[in-house]
Structure 1
Amino acid sequence: MSNVKRNYVFDFDSTLTSVEALDVLCEITQANNPNREEVLEEIVNITNKGIDGDISFPESLKQRIQLLKAKKSDLSVLIEELKKYVSPSIERNKEFFEQYSDDIYVISAGFKEFIDPIVAEYNIPSERVFANTFEFDENDLIVGFDAENSLSKHNGKIECLQNLDLVGEIQVIGDGYSDAVTKVAGIADTFFAYTENVSREKTVANADHITPSLDEFLYINDLPRNISYPKNRIKILLLENVHSDAFKKLSKDGFTVETVSKSLSEEELIEKIKDVHVLGIRSKTHVTQKVVDAAEKLMVVSAFCIGTKQIDLEACKENGIVVFNAPYSNTRSVVELAIGEIIMLMRSVFQRSTEIHSGQWNKTAEGSREVRGKKLGIVGYGNIGKQLSILAEALGMDVYYYDVEDKLALGNATKVDELSDLLALSDVVTLHVDDNAANKNFFGEKEISQMKDGAHLVNLSRGFVVDIPALVAALKSGKIAGTAVDVYPEEPRKNGDFFTELKGLPNVILTPHVGGSTEEAQRDIADFVPSKIMAYINSGNTVDAVNFPNIRLPRQTNAHRFLHIHKNVPGVMAKINKVLAEYNLNITGQYLSIDPKVGYVITDLDKEYNTEVLDELRKIEGTIKFRVLY
């Protein structure tokens, strides 16, 4: 850090607080006014005109005070309201204000009557707050302001800074044009456009640095901060038209998020991923070894779906990249489709519908049966299989299931030990097996031959699980009376032309991999997966990671947290703790989880550390990734 003395000059409205104080005061004073919305809109409009320099600031101030009709007693209510609206990154970095209070000034076109009480809690005394003051009449009504105060005039901040005659470098942090002109006029050495709450075109255009949060400002200046690396510098790339709620949630948390509506080829992804920290995909984008090798900054890959077959999990693990998915969020959607397709197959609904569409009336009960009392065979009794079991039983079906693992039956479902036995008794067989490569053509000619004649087959699992030519032959021969297929051995990367051998066959329901594609499921996924991303980036939690040791722990305050990912070889923990001991660091908490290949250790420390310790920890043999969280 530079030895030159620095003076940090903060704006108040929309910088230290997330709101414009006079706008809030207007809401208080106009609470019972039937025309309050019109008055509020006018106040905001005048505020913005003044901030952008479209009207003179004195005129803006005068017009707003006339509309406010506020009393002195309203100010105490305003102060309590403003305490709720301190900007989030300001609030979490109180340590900076406490340590550097002698170098911090607040220069605002707001009013000392409400600014002083707010900033006092951040160790900024009244004598370093420069702002306007109200004028009151004999009834304590606010009627004006001190017109002699330089801050009530056009370019008042320039005059105020000139009068202060501060020694050393002057850095101005604010959101308005009146802050930006201090640099244009040569009074401020550096201007930071503060955009956490609002981004104004004229302000940003004149900035040396755009500062989406105080974390970024502190990072640039190498000052004490609550988090080690500003979130706005963490880039997240979301592909394949991930639900917009994911973008909103991650952006709101402070990350820089880019969205792409389609999947990317390996070559495209290699080019795109070089500066990406978090990658979000669905099922069509493949994260290969080559992609992982090119991903210099990648920390997280998140699948906004159930399957992770499209991700090289081992390559990610060996490079310290944590993988998350959404194993539960679309379960209900898949189950409802399965139930609907079972009913439609048993009733031959699609055949009758196709006949009507082609102009034929064929009212018949032949091949149309109730599901009540029929035997449902579920192959794969995981999250989807279990929920299907409960709903099918509620419809009156007799439920049987087969799974390679020992799974506890729900309701009145019956476990069957051999797949062949399940197939022989089931009127409908539904597949819900995982995406293990060993399951390719898991269901082929042999398994079809073991099914009851005239049974139905539903596949909502993976396309490569079923031998399609064998299924086609069974449908044509009548061995299988009908089938519903949502997944295919090869699926296109984008919407358009598609061919399958199942096309045109009677009593065959074909859908384009939409089992989990409901608005509700996509919203749930867009909530669940970002939560996992944020928990890892913000706290180091790896709970529900697909490829990584799981650690759950709370966020600490007044502590530092180191995250160390290493190869699972003997002696690494001893070396980590030896380095910490050599630098006289006191460990307040340490959490370790390992699997056969990697170890993940989180260390909390209660005191400041020499940055040399970071280099020593990175040098430890076997280290894959190391970062300081806060």
Structure 2
Amino acid sequence: MKKVLIIDEMHLSIIPLMENEAFQVDYSPQISRAEILEIIHEYVGLIIRSKTPIDRELLEKAERLRFIGRAGAGLDKIDLEFLEQKGILLFHAAEGNMDAVGEHAIGGLLAIFNHANRADLEVRKGIWKREENRGEELKGKTVGIIGYGNMGSAFAKKLRGFDVQIMAYDKYKTGFGDKFVEEVGFENLVDKVDVLSLHVPLTPETRNFLTLKILQKFKNPIYLINTARGEIISFATLNKSLDLGIIRGAVLDVLENEKFNTYTPAQKLEFEQLAARENVIFSPHIAGWTFQSYERINEVLIEKIKGSGIIYNA
């Protein structure tokens, strides 16, 4: 029988969905890497999130593996080159949570514009400051998007009702401009935007892409939204840009390092400075983590697996 191993927490609908396609499912979200290495040779399919690096060591032991399903968008923990060498198909489900990411990004931006966190805390304490909490309107602003894949395009779609100008830059994609989104080069983006939203994967090219030198090129002070990967901009760069007024406020769903207990002394100091700022809003990497997306990701994965024909040939 065709066996599939699930090594991360998933919405349990994944089990009947795969069983309906004649797979035997072993659901083991608590499994350790050592245990995976011992048994991976038995499976034709592997369903993952991001807990375990899918590297050469693991793939060399996966003798029968025909496909991997990534419940999400990021592929930075997968050895894509070796996967291709072995002829193992990779499916990922960015379409499953792209609407959640778009909504979260807009929600964070509106909260920053209207001082929602600070105003809420003040009112709870009996403090009534209207002028100090006067907000900004999104209408009339120019919003720039770096990376126009599933996430970037979903964010753009949800912005359309706000009467904003939307510009998008994607180094590896062209021909996507339409009446709602202007496709631009990076230099044009830098020259015009008031809000910048990041929607690129983590690669050697995008790691620490937003340096202080790059940010100093922006003509206008910007509001920054990062729902992509924290390693695109460091804590130190964020703090310096906020100090200089290059960044007016930041919505951060991801961090340079998301494991607080592993911080270096320098990271700890920089994060503490960042956390003390009222014009920064944090969330724990949950932009795409809604009740609806949790289940929808499974449906997207199954449809892609079925569409590949691997079900019939595994």
TM-score (norm 1): 0.45
- Per-residue CA deviations over 1:526-579 (Å, capped at 9, x if unaligned) read 112123334544334xxxxxxxxxxxxxxxxxxxxxxxxxxxxxxxxxxxxxxx
What's 1:17 paired with? Answer: none
Change (3 A) 1:443 1:262: farther
Q: Are residues 1:251 and 2:29 paired?
A: no
Contact 2:37 2:61 in 1 (8 A): yes
Q: State which structure, 1 or 2, has the greater radius of gyration over its C-alpha atoms.
A: 1
Amino acid corresponding to residue 370 of structure 1 in structure 2:
E
- Residue from 223, 227, 234 that aligns with 1:467: 234
- Residue from 113, 116, 119 that aligns with 1:349: 116
Task: Give, in whole Å, the separation in 1 of the partners of 2:210 and 2:48.
Answer: 28
- Residue from 180, 186, 199 that aligns with 1:412: 180
- Per-residue CA deviations over 1:569-613 (Å, capped at 9, x if unaligned) read xxxxxxxxxxxxxxxxxxxxxxxxxxxxxxxxxxxxxxxxxxxxx
What's 1:320 paired with? Answer: 87
Contact 1:420 1:447 in 2 (8 A): no
What's 1:311 paired with? Answer: 78
What's 2:275 paired with? Answer: 503
Contact 2:119 2:133 in 1 (8 A): no
Amino acid corresponding to residue 539 of structure 1 in structure 2:
Y
> Post-superposition shift, 1:517?
0.8
What's 1:295 paired with? Answer: 62
What's 1:376 paired with? Answer: 143
Change (3 A) 1:534 1:331: same
Matches within 5 A, 1:403-482: 403-404=170-171, 405-417=173-185, 419-482=186-249
What's 1:38 paired with? Answer: none
Change (3 A) 1:427 1:330: same
> Post-superposition shift, 1:452?
4.5
The answer to which structure, 1 or 2, has the higher relative contact order (CA under 8 A, 6+ apart) is 2
> Post-superposition shift, 1:510?
0.8
Contact 1:423 1:429 in 2 (8 A): no
> Post-superposition shift, 1:272?
3.8
Task: Give, in whole Å, the separation in 1 of the partners of 2:133 and 2:184.
Answer: 31
Change (3 A) 1:447 1:358: farther
- Per-residue CA deviations over 1:469-491 (Å, capped at 9, x if unaligned) read 11112223433221011122333
Change (3 A) 1:276 1:489: farther
What's 2:263 paired with? Answer: none
Percent identical pairs in the alignment equals 27
Q: Are residues 1:397 and 2:175 paired?
A: no
Task: Give, in whole Å, the separation in 1 of the partners of 2:31 and 2:224.
Answer: 31
Contact 1:350 1:508 in 2 (8 A): no
Q: Secondary structure at the match of 2:94?
A: coil
Matches within 5 A, 1:231-270: 233-262=1-30, 264-265=32-33, 267-270=34-37
Amino acid corresponding to residue 528 of structure 1 in structure 2:
V
Contact 1:381 1:407 in 2 (8 A): no
Task: Give, in whole Å, the separation in 1 of the partners of 2:215 and 2:40.
Answer: 44
Amino acid corresponding to residue 487 of structure 1 in structure 2:
V
Task: Give, in whole Å, the separation in 2 of the partners of 1:474 and 1:381.
Answer: 25
Task: Give, in whole Å, the separation in 1 of the partners of 2:242 and 2:35.
Answer: 41
Contact 1:462 1:488 in 2 (8 A): yes
- Per-residue CA deviations over 1:220-256 (Å, capped at 9, x if unaligned) read xxxxxxxxxxxxx222111221111111211233322
Contact 1:344 1:350 in 2 (8 A): yes
Amino acid corresponding to residue 9 of structure 2 in structure 1:
N
Contact 2:75 2:201 in 1 (8 A): no
Task: Give, in whole Å, the separation in 2 of the partners of 1:512 and 1:295.
Answer: 33
CA RMSD of aligned residues (A): 2.5
Task: Give, in whole Å, the separation in 2 of the partners of 1:272 and 1:485.
Answer: 38
Change (3 A) 1:367 1:472: farther
Q: Secondary structure at the match of 2:168?
A: strand
Amino acid corresponding to residue 430 of structure 1 in structure 2:
S
Contact 1:375 1:427 in 2 (8 A): yes
Contact 2:76 2:201 in 1 (8 A): no
Change (3 A) 1:248 1:504: farther
What's 2:264 paired with? Answer: none
> Post-superposition shift, 1:460?
1.1
What's 1:274 paired with? Answer: 41
Task: Give, in whole Å, the separation in 1 of the partners of 2:134 and 2:244.
Answer: 16
Matches within 5 A, 1:53-202: none
> Post-superposition shift, 1:392?
1.4
Contact 1:386 1:410 in 2 (8 A): no
TM-score (norm 2): 0.87
What's 1:529 paired with? Answer: 301
Task: Give, in whole Å, the separation in 1 of the partners of 2:12 and 2:155.
Answer: 29
Contact 1:443 1:466 in 2 (8 A): yes
Task: Give, in whole Å, the separation in 2 of the partners of 1:429 and 1:532.
Answer: 32
> Post-superposition shift, 1:294?
1.5
- Per-residue CA deviations over 1:83-137 (Å, capped at 9, x if unaligned) read xxxxxxxxxxxxxxxxxxxxxxxxxxxxxxxxxxxxxxxxxxxxxxxxxxxxxxx
Task: Give, in whole Å, the separation in 2 of the partners of 1:319 and 1:360.
Answer: 63
Task: Give, in whole Å, the separation in 2 of the partners of 1:515 and 1:480.
Answer: 21
Contact 1:416 1:422 in 2 (8 A): yes
Task: Give, in whole Å, the separation in 1 of the partners of 2:133 and 2:183.
Answer: 32
Change (3 A) 1:319 1:415: closer
Task: Give, in whole Å, the separation in 1 of the partners of 2:277 and 2:38.
Answer: 43
Contact 2:73 2:92 in 1 (8 A): yes
What's 1:330 paired with? Answer: 97
In the alignment of these two chains, the number of paired residues is 304
